Structure 1
Amino acid sequence: MQTAHVFSFHGGVHPEENKTQSLQLPLGRPPLPSELILPLGQHIGQSSRPLVKQGDRVLKGDTIAINNGFLSSFLHAPTSGTIVAIEERPIAHPSGLSDLCIVLQPDGQDTWKSLEPLTQWQTVSKTDVLAYLAEMGIVGMGGAGFPTHVKLQGAHKKPLSHFIINAAECEPYITADDMLMREKTIEMVLGIEIFQHLVEADAVVIGIEDNKPTAIAALKKVLKERNSNIQLTVVPTKYPSGGEKQLIQLVTGKEVPSGQHPADIGMLCQNVGTCVAVHDAVYLGKPLISRITTLTGDALNAAQNVDVLLGTPVAHLLDYAQAQQQKLHRLIMGGPMMGYTLNSAAVPIVKTSNCILAASKKELPTPAPEQACIRCGMCEQACPASLLPQQLLWFSKSQEHEKAEHHNLFDCIECGACSYVCPSSIPLVQYYRHTKSSIRDAREANVKSDLAKQRFEARKARQDAEAAEKEAKRLARQKATANKSAEAKKASPAKAMPSKAPSEGATAAPVSLANDELKKLKVDVAIGKSKLKKLQKQLLEAQENEHLDDVTTLQLQVTDQEKTIASLEEQLGNVVAKAPAPTPTVAETSTVKSPVDDALKKAKIDAAIAKAAVKKVEKALKKAEDINAPEIDTIRQQLKDAQARANALEKAVSQPATSPASHESVAAPISAAQLDLANQIKKEKIAVALAKAQINKLNKRLLTAPEEADTLPQDIAAAQQRLESAEALLATLIQSLNNPQETQ
């Protein structure tokens, strides 16, 4: 065993500990309740998915729910019995809302299933060990309940310099970890060794406060007997030394940067309860179905720590600890600093429940009314995260969420130290929690909005494809009708040669039919050109306003409309060419394209649409990963499908089909080179418009943001250079298109 140097962190407070009340009695084991209520969301991330149904019989340790995504966990039966319901029940949560729960009625026999320990954990692959821990339902038991296998996977981003065991337990009243270290010292050390095998850190350190002498002595004895290289660091008693980032700073002297995780700087923390749970899973084959919880408070006659099954109602534990209902003023899940009030004693114990505080009115009086901030600065001095609580309070009250984020609101660990020292009795942490929730809701709404937009665009693309297919069928029918009319015209002179009048009557119907078709096509062309002008106007406005997503969509719509007009003009030209009598003008038939060119152009358009869809899904996936949105698996599958479609279309474009022999005789007045030039001109026009819009935006920022005066002129010069290059290239392309002889 080794000892290590102790550092310090900013702020912190010294509230009254009140830890001796729950350490007078030995570890208790309450009897089985009449029912066990097992919420499906006992961890951070997605709730578990039930495997059982009402009426099923289960044994102790049977899997009753499996993980429902990457950030999820398994759930097991704490005892043998019958599933009597899967329904909404009140749960232990600050919101006081209900959640879906599996209700188990014990049979009193407490019969275990067949246990299968992982005896070869040192020789099997680490991936298999992590998968085993996931199936055992192991989650962090000291904080938000982060699935342990996921946390260990993230720890391999960088080599670990320190693996820290959090044994500080700094919050007043709570002694669950203290009792666990006394009762299960050897199990805890063996669990730490399993963790060290998985993470391979350079140093393993147990951080414990100096107010736990019995647990410290037990740890020293076991570490010495095993000749372990695990370091034991005893830190001074100060709240919140048990915070993950604060304990890292105490033990190593290193500070986790804002917005980063401990793994980013080579650190990993685990709670002592998690270490014991890993030991029980690996060595004994037992899933996580129970935990040690502190029952304390002046309203209890028998305050103590208990080894309680998950799902046990709080009311059952209060009866076990001989609660005095007339003295019970507030019932709190957790400690007085970071816990939250329970509205009902019917809520169950979950994997993260470390304390039930049944406080009297004298012990935890009603908070004084909130008063105006006097700007004393005590909150800033007490903040262990080195934030500006007063500033964050103003931003929270005024709902200036962007400014609150800019001032590192999400670095707040909600320890309550600022509220504890505030002389104006301002519930600062409550304001911060509300603001965090509002920001998360806004982010999730943005992700859902992006998904809805993506679905809308996919639906529109599908409708456009269906409309194009219908139009192609309509044109095919018109062409077939025109061919029949032409055949009838060729046959009519042979039958009507004897006199002039019958011949004129025989040709009247085909001429009338051709004229009607000609008029309809002219109307369709005119309507199409009008719609094209509107789309081009919208495209120009989007380019000026730098709405890049709209620019891409509108450009595709313009291309589709141009294709439709070209198709209509081709039909118009065919009708004019086959008409029995010459028409006054055929100005609209100036452009005729081959079917192969149309197919190639359509393939290129489809490929561009597919690439744009891939980019949008990637953007939505990034946002979803930032907030751990529940739709993240769906988005990943959409990205996979979109990427596959884009690759297939790109391959089709790179290997175009040759022109069929039936179309070799179709004339193409505009060459392929001229079409390419026209497409390049369109792209350069967009580039010029974007460059001009960028210059305008930078000039406005130069006037409104003087603090950026050093960097903006360089950006403006670069944008001006891009504009000049784009304009020069555009002029060259236009000249080449107008004078094709010079380019040959």
Structure 2
Amino acid sequence: MLKTFKGGIHPPYNKDLTNSKPIEKATLPKKVIIPMGMHIGAPSEPIVKVGDMVKKGQKIGEAKSFVSVPVHASISGKVTAVEPRPWPGGGLMMSVVIESDGKDELDYSITPPKPLSQLSPDEIKNLIREAGITGLGGAGFPTQVKLSFPPEKNVDTIIINAAECEPYITADHRLLLERPDDVVLGIEAIMKATGIKRAFIGIEDNKLDAVESIKKTIKDKEGIEVVVLATKYPQGGEKQLIKAVTGREVPSGGLPMDAGVIVNNAGTCAAIANTLKTGLPLIERITTVTGSGIKEPKNLLIRIGTPLIDIIEQCGGFKGTPGKVLMGGPMMGLAQSTLDVPAIKGTSGLLVLEKHDLHLFEPSPCIKCARCVDACPINLLPTTIAKFAQKNMWNEAELYHAMDCVECGCCSYVCPAHIPLTQHIRIAKSHIIALRRQK
């Protein structure tokens, strides 16, 4: 029987647009806009100024706290601005703008490190940190922080998230097919850095070719196992993945390490492998560009900081009249108000939907059908929390565990009254965080 979790939904997956398309290297961008805060934690501080010439891989942002990572130039060229710029998360973020010189020259400091067999656990963690590697599944948590858990947490299991449950996105699927050795090398590095002897790779059963690809790669590897998961959204959520693979539950308000587990994305593992083999920091990633509003859907290997408009043009441009552009997928993606914002480390997908594909509904009163309760993968009461949010009752929303919501969108998806439950809960969470800071 396939492993899974309670709740969840089965939206149309629409992965056939790109799941058979090989990864294609994007053309070198003429300009990149590199935000200093592409990760959870403190933003990096720019260490370059306007007029500086920089090389590919050169550090341009310094991390000043533990929960942070450095930021690097993804192209060579001239720094033309160091200023707040619009970024995909909304609002403004301090960014470094680089105009390409067309040479794509590598910084002199980039050299391959010692082989993995000769690196100590601390050396591996430091390499990961200095390479600016974060979770590439979307949240952007600094990877070295995940690997530096306190000994009293008794972490004994690594889970590699290769579920890729978000509709339309196929970046990890193609990675598992085309670069399985990199994924496995990254897993081995994580195992050595943490001393953990057991690792599971979770892959949904709509990617059986990827399952076979990884199984062949790990046949002589000790301690690494593939777990085939039922195809269901949000199977790739950390808490759901841990429950499905190990049967353990992350406690309310806790982290995966509180359940004895650390979770890393397959793309993060490949990024670690690339650093181990070349010395390059994280300056590029695989992004699925797809949707009914794209002429030629593709899986592109793009440079971090590439403006979204450039990425769309490399896929033939828009088809029809675009109605919405999402960074990410349809369930958890962020709608973009401008195409001048850049792709960041967490940009797993760029989804363009034609205007006629958008269905907008006016909310109606809740009919108390409890479909949102059945669908919630965290076992919350979404409609109750949403009502508290609508009445500005933040303390009550917190008592009903609003902060445990993972904002997966399942409740909004199944609601027959078309109430934007996830958005109401998100507002409640922001107010709860603000109140906590005041206290």
* Fold similarity call, TM over 0.5: yes
2:435 to 425, 442, 447: 442
Q: Deviations over 1:302-337 (max 9, x none)?
A: 101000000000000111111226421111111101
State the shift of 1:132 in Å: 2.1
2:38 corresponds to: 42
Conserved 8 A contact 1:157-1:263: no
Counterparts of 1:611-622 in structure 2, within 5 Å, are none
1:255 corresponds to: 249
- TM-score, normalised to structure 1's length? 0.58
Counterparts of 1:465-504 in structure 2, within 5 Å, are none
Cα distance in 1, alignment partners of residues 188 and 66 from structure 2: 26
State the shift of 1:120 in Å: 4.8
| Corresponding position: 1:201 with 2:191 | no
State the shift of 1:24 in Å: 4.2
1:52 to 48, 54, 66: 48
Instruction: Read off the aligned partner of 1:51 and give its amino acid letter.
Output: I
1:153 to 148, 151, 174: 148
Cα distance in 2, alignment partners of residues 135 and 43 from structure 1: 14
Instruction: Read off the aligned partner of 1:231 and give its amino acid letter.
Output: E
State the shift of 1:202 in Å: 4.1
Q: Percent identity?
A: 41
1:118 corresponds to: 113
Q: Deviations over 1:36-94 (max 9, x none)?
A: 0001110011110111111111111111111021211101111111111111211101x
Counterparts of 1:27-426 in structure 2, within 5 Å, are 27-93=23-89, 96-114=90-108, 115-154=110-149, 156-224=151-219, 226-324=220-318, 326-363=320-357, 365-426=358-419
Cα distance in 2, alignment partners of residues 230 and 331 from structure 1: 38
Conserved 8 A contact 2:307-2:343: yes
Instruction: Read off the aligned partner of 1:302 and give its amino acid letter.
Output: E
SS at match of 2:80: strand
State the shift of 1:227 in Å: 4.2
Cα distance in 2, alignment partners of residues 312 and 361 from structure 1: 25
Conserved 8 A contact 1:71-1:150: yes
Cα distance in 1, alignment partners of residues 28 and 327 from structure 2: 21
Q: In the superposition, relative to structure 1, how do residues 156 and 281 fare at CA in structure 2: closer, same or farther (>3 Å)?
A: farther
Q: Deviations over 1:411-447 (max 9, x none)?
A: 111000000000000111101111111111222233x
Conserved 8 A contact 1:8-1:253: no
- TM-score, normalised to structure 2's length? 0.97
Provide the alpha-carbon RMSD of the alignment.
1.5
Q: In the superposition, relative to structure 1, how do residues 227 and 65 fare at CA in structure 2: closer, same or farther (>3 Å)?
A: closer
Q: Deviations over 1:224-278 (max 9, x none)?
A: 2x34431101011011110001011111111112121110121110000110111
Cα distance in 2, alignment partners of residues 77 and 47 from structure 1: 16
Conserved 8 A contact 1:23-1:304: no
Instruction: Read off the aligned partner of 2:313 and give its amino acid letter.
Output: D
Q: In the superposition, relative to structure 1, how do residues 409 and 338 fare at CA in structure 2: closer, same or farther (>3 Å)?
A: same
Conserved 8 A contact 2:55-2:105: yes
Cα distance in 2, alignment partners of residues 143 and 315 from structure 1: 20
Cα distance in 2, alignment partners of residues 230 and 155 from structure 1: 23
SS at match of 1:292: strand
State the shift of 1:395 in Å: 1.2
- Structure 2: 5+ residue runs without aligned partners? none
Instruction: Read off the aligned partner of 2:404 and give its amino acid letter.
Output: D
Conserved 8 A contact 1:6-1:251: no
Instruction: Read off the aligned partner of 1:146 and give its amino acid letter.
Output: F
Q: In the superposition, relative to structure 1, how do residues 141 and 155 fare at CA in structure 2: closer, same or farther (>3 Å)?
A: farther
Cα distance in 1, alignment partners of residues 25 and 378 from structure 2: 38
Cα distance in 1, alignment partners of residues 397 and 290 from structure 2: 37
Conserved 8 A contact 1:157-1:264: no
Q: Deviations over 1:528-577 (max 9, x none)?
A: xxxxxxxxxxxxxxxxxxxxxxxxxxxxxxxxxxxxxxxxxxxxxxxxxx
SS at match of 2:164: coil
Q: Deviations over 1:312-370 (max 9, x none)?
A: 0000011111122642111111110111210001110000011100101233x142011
1:17 to 7, 13, 18: 13
Cα distance in 1, alignment partners of residues 381 and 183 from structure 2: 38
Conserved 8 A contact 2:124-2:189: no
Conserved 8 A contact 2:304-2:345: yes
Q: Deviations over 1:159-212 (max 9, x none)?
A: 322110000000100111111111211011011001011122242100000001
SS at match of 2:245: helix
Conserved 8 A contact 1:7-1:252: no
Conserved 8 A contact 2:122-2:193: no
Cα distance in 2, alignment partners of residues 157 and 370 from structure 1: 48
Q: Which has the higher contact order (CA 8 A, sep 6+)?
A: 2
Instruction: Read off the aligned partner of 1:78 and give its amino acid letter.
Output: S
Instruction: Read off the aligned partner of 1:355 and give its amino acid letter.
Output: G
Q: Give the structure with higher Rg (CA).
A: 1
Conserved 8 A contact 2:56-2:75: yes
Cα distance in 2, alignment partners of residues 348 and 83 from structure 1: 16
State the shift of 1:279 in Å: 0.8
SS at match of 1:208: strand
Instruction: Read off the aligned partner of 1:212 and give its amino acid letter.
Output: K
Cα distance in 1, alignment partners of residues 95 and 87 from structure 2: 9
Conserved 8 A contact 2:83-2:96: yes
Cα distance in 1, alignment partners of residues 8 and 374 from structure 2: 8
Q: Deviations over 1:594-622 (max 9, x none)?
A: xxxxxxxxxxxxxxxxxxxxxxxxxxxxx
